[in-house]
Structure 1
Amino acid sequence: MNLKNKLYIVLGAVVLLSSSACESFLDVNENPNNPEDAPISGLLTNSTYETSLNVQRIASTSSFYVQYLASPNPASGADVMDPLDFSGTWFSLYNVMTDINEIIRKAEESGANHYLGAGQILMALNLGMTVDIFGDVPFSQSFNFETVTPAYDDDQELYQRILQLLDEGIANLQGETSISMGGDDFIYGGNVANWIKFGHTLKARFLMHTKGTPTYNANEVLTAVANGFQSNEDDAAVVFFEQRFNPWAQVAINNENLLLGGWISEQFVQALDGTSYPTVDPRLPLMIGTTDDGEFVGTVNGEGRGDAPEQGARSTLIPGQFYTSTTSPLLIATYAELKFIEAEAALPTDPARAYAAYLAGIEAHMDMLGVSDEAKTAYLADESVSVGAGAMTLDIIMKEKWVAMFLHPETWNDARRFDYGYKDMTLPENLNPNLNGNYIRRLAYPDSEVSRNGNNVPSVTLLDRIWWNQ
């Protein structure tokens, strides 16, 4: 029996167990995981798998905000940045954090330090994603099952906890352990060295979010970078298998069957087809599809497809490409991302290092997609790309990172930090009027949370900024 089938069987058992025993911590006043029935290995399987899906769940909306995707329907809610109900996303984030909390508890009791370290890194990631989209959220009272109306913790204080969890996780992975991880780990198959690099990479990511705050220290970011991923082989990802499709593949398949989704924003097409920038990017045909006439044509955000009655009249995600094959990996963190983090952190004091990291980030993403050596060399040599250290700017770094982070929610964090300053990016048509001509800055708290825990839910608007984006 191959590894994928083994993982599928384990996952199926855990999902069945979870579906029969698991409720959101806000729904009941008892431990939803029933730890007697959930072994630590099964919890890790479910947590690594569901963490990758949480990345995609957030990206399924944030990809409209950063204009990777656009809706074929005019004034579609995500497209025009309306307040939407994210109860499902909220539940998914807290459901996996509840399981991770059990991993941490069980690992501490049994001396399973590698499980403990992996659990702490997964907790930091899921908590960080939750804070980055909602701001203040419940955490300190969320997993003791003593209240169904937990208090909300300050988002800046939670960031300190996120970084602490990463440091603790790295330290525990470097120690001895009573139980070793293996095939129950969907991300690395129990490779502890990669988990340590993953922890450092996430630390660089979360530290970079604080760039506009007094706590930011570029040297701390660069230290984390040095201990993070060293190549594409280190990427944190969950690879899907025939019994369970990559969710972006399902979007592409659905679109072929006229269940419309995965249409590509005009902004993204024009950034790569030679319209907004001088050179045509060879990655474009490896990332999205053409119209029936073999052309790349995007959809204007908020405007919909207009007079295009046929699917083939606009570019969409199509089955079988790097991001949309049924067995494609869901990328959680990548070496390419880390190189762009390094470029941004180094730029003010060491432009030569920043430039080298910028070029390495482009090359890493091209290698990931399978761009030919000839096309890669030509692109990297183009004068609009090969600008030299002396002409290196943040705009150039962020543009290439935006391309390399296609369909990843981290781009929305970048966009907010960058004040949506990508070249030729414009507000969507039919923008939510309550935004007063501004881009969205956070998600609305879910309706389910307002109804069950309304006295604690902060009063915010979509324009109120997360602490690191003030």
Structure 2
Amino acid sequence: MKFKYLVTKILSVGGIFLISSCDSYLDVNENPNNPVDAPISGLMINSSYESALNVFRVGDITSNYVQYLASPNPASASDTMEPLSFNSTWFNLYNVMTDLTVLIEKSEEQGAGHYQGAAQILMALNLSMGVDIFGDMPFSESFNFETVTPAYDEDTQLYELIIQYLDDGIANLQGSTTSSLGDDDFIYGGNVDYWISFGNMLKARYMLHLSELPSYDESALLSALDNGFSSNEENADVTFFDEAVNPWFNVARNNADLLLGGWISEQFIEATDGTTFGVADPRLPLMVGATDDDEYVGTVNGAGRGDAPPSGARSTLIEGQFYTSLASPVLIATFSEQKFIEAEATFTLDKARSYQAYLDGIRAHMEMLSVPDAEIDTYINNPSVGMGVAAFTIDDIFKEKWVALFLHPEAWNDARRYDYQYDNMDLPENLNPDLNGQFIRRLAYPDNEISRNGSNVPEVTLLDRIFWDVQ
């Protein structure tokens, strides 16, 4: 069984070893309270833990854009796709990448190939999250003392580097090591085989982003799939305990305390309650809360809750469900997502394989949520879901993958590649007028970065596309 971790116990021991971007251009002054040197074990603790939190942090931004969540307040900037400044998200991504830079270097010096390989995979994960939301980013000049105004690397070049990090990480994990991963690895508890599968799964994810470009390598993607996850047991996640609670639990708890957040979009409710697709999804009551009247009622993005009271009349994230329990995992990559990647990648090559992967993806997600077998079979056998190979379309893949990626930042990458063509996914009310009636395609660069490194920051609008987001 996959090893799970008492995060707070290990943090209490390992926290003294953590560094906070001491070598990064993000910091102007050296903090004498932070050690300038740290053992690779302490760096691994922080990097694996914070990487999962970065998945949450980016997902918390993008979940409104893909209409999992909606603001209870009308014309809220998160709903209406205004150019917000995500300074903390930018900082947190660089904070982890700085620690990973040190971890990679120190592991190589010490011959700790397994630490080096895991760190390279986490570097690919964090760098990809940054590129997928911001585009061009400083990287090659960012992790030394040579400049406090690093140049920006092009997103296309950074994607080549992401794939290289994954290839190098997988190779290092397959080689020798002077030190073995263990409890300091919050994701897999030192299981190297799972790390190799994780690296291959991420490789397939990022290669799929390139599917409309000349650089797309279909055979390499299929090879990565063959060497990726084989079941939910290998899912990459971090499970929280005690005081180090799952961050989505905090959202649900805060909402219950009337610090409003985690309200569910009408789009998601109607896509899963039978309104849009004619079939009720048994996952709905396991993912979101019902109203005080035991119904599922969403909030229209951009419109707010209208005349509804602050709580009780709209569905929200609530404590105690799969995504929102105190000890729930933050999902980084799952077997279910991998099956949907396979379904899309093989749709034109082998439609029968694609269809089976699509069904397997639904089943894997439902099993992860502990949906009873009989309810899984009933859902999959419904003609709206199990329509057969002949009637199966690419739209079916994107719809079911969207449900299975609930709250995950990868859903926004899919939405942009799919051009937001989900059934009944309408533009939010009170949409940012600068978007000219279109959906958002990227985030604005953070204000802090503009003030510190403005001469290098690219001039972009929210409609400018990341390089893989092909029109």
5 Å matches for 1:251-266?
Answer: 251-266=251-266
1:277 maps to 2:277: yes
Distance in 2 between residues matched to 1:19 and 1:39, nearest whole Å: 10
Q: CA deviation at 1:14?
A: 4.5
Query: What corresponds to 1:410 in structure 2?
Result: 410
Distance in 2 between residues matched to 1:404 and 1:384, nearest whole Å: 17
Query: What corresponds to 2:242 in structure 1?
Result: 242
Distance in 2 between residues matched to 1:20 and 1:128, nearest whole Å: 20
Q: 1:299 to 1:21 in 2, by over 3 A?
A: closer
Distance in 2 between residues matched to 1:379 and 1:122, nearest whole Å: 36
Query: What corresponds to 1:422 in structure 2?
Result: 422
Q: Deviations over 1:63-120 (max 9, x none)?
A: 0000000000001111100011110000000000000001100011010000000010
Q: CA deviation at 1:26?
A: 2.3
Q: Which has the higher helix share?
A: 1
Q: TM-score, normalised by structure 2?
A: 0.97
Q: CA deviation at 1:391?
A: 1.6
Task: Please state whether the residue corresponding to 1:176 is helix, strand or coil.
Answer: coil
1:218 maps to 2:223: no
Q: CA deviation at 1:27?
A: 2.5
Contact 1:35 1:102 in 2 (8 A): no
Query: What corresponds to 1:173 in structure 2?
Result: 173
Contact 1:237 1:330 in 2 (8 A): yes
Mean Cα displacement is larger for which, 22-31 or 380-389?
A: 22-31
Residue identity matched to 2:432: N
5 Å matches for 1:318-329?
Answer: 318-329=318-329
Query: What corresponds to 2:294 in structure 1?
Result: 294
Q: TM-score, normalised by structure 1?
A: 0.97
Q: CA deviation at 1:145?
A: 1.9
Contact 1:29 1:148 in 2 (8 A): no
Contact 1:31 1:145 in 2 (8 A): no
Q: Cα RMSD between the aligned structures? A: 1.7
Q: Deviations over 1:216-260 (max 9, x none)?
A: 132221111110000000000000001211000010011111110
Contact 1:246 1:328 in 2 (8 A): yes
Contact 1:10 1:42 in 2 (8 A): no
Contact 2:21 2:27 in 1 (8 A): no
Q: Deviations over 1:423-462 (max 9, x none)?
A: 1100000000100000000000000000000000000000
Distance in 2 between residues matched to 1:32 and 1:84, nearest whole Å: 33
5 Å matches for 1:332-411?
Answer: 332-411=332-411
Q: Deviations over 1:125-171 (max 9, x none)?
A: 10011000000000000112211110000000110000000000000
Mean Cα displacement is larger for which, 139-148 or 296-305?
A: 139-148
Contact 2:343 2:358 in 1 (8 A): yes
Contact 2:5 2:183 in 1 (8 A): no
Distance in 2 between residues matched to 1:270 and 1:228, nearest whole Å: 33
Q: CA deviation at 1:18?
A: 4.1
Query: What corresponds to 2:11 in structure 1?
Result: 11
- Unaligned 5+ runs, structure 1: none
Query: What corresponds to 1:451 in structure 2?
Result: 451
5 Å matches for 1:148-227?
Answer: 148-227=148-227
Identity %: 64
Task: Please state whether the residue corresponding to 1:238 is helix, strand or coil.
Answer: strand
5 Å matches for 1:125-144?
Answer: 125-144=125-144
Distance in 1 between residues matched to 2:233 and 2:315, nearest whole Å: 31
Query: What corresponds to 1:50 in structure 2?
Result: 50
Query: What corresponds to 1:112 in structure 2?
Result: 112
Q: 1:32 to 1:41 in 2, by over 3 A?
A: farther
Mean Cα displacement is larger for which, 283-292 or 12-21?
A: 12-21
Q: Deviations over 1:19-72 (max 9, x none)?
A: 788485323377999775311000001000000000000011100000000000
Aligned length in residues: 468
Task: Please state whether the residue corresponding to 1:237 is helix, strand or coil.
Answer: strand
Residue identity matched to 1:96: V
Distance in 2 between residues matched to 1:101 and 1:29, nearest whole Å: 19
Contact 1:22 1:33 in 2 (8 A): no
Task: Please state whether the residue corresponding to 2:379 is helix, strand or coil.
Answer: helix
Task: Please state whether the residue corresponding to 1:79 is helix, strand or coil.
Answer: helix
5 Å matches for 1:450-469?
Answer: 450-469=450-469
Task: Please state whether the residue corresponding to 1:68 is helix, strand or coil.
Answer: coil
Residue identity matched to 1:38: A
Distance in 2 between residues matched to 1:269 and 1:328, nearest whole Å: 22
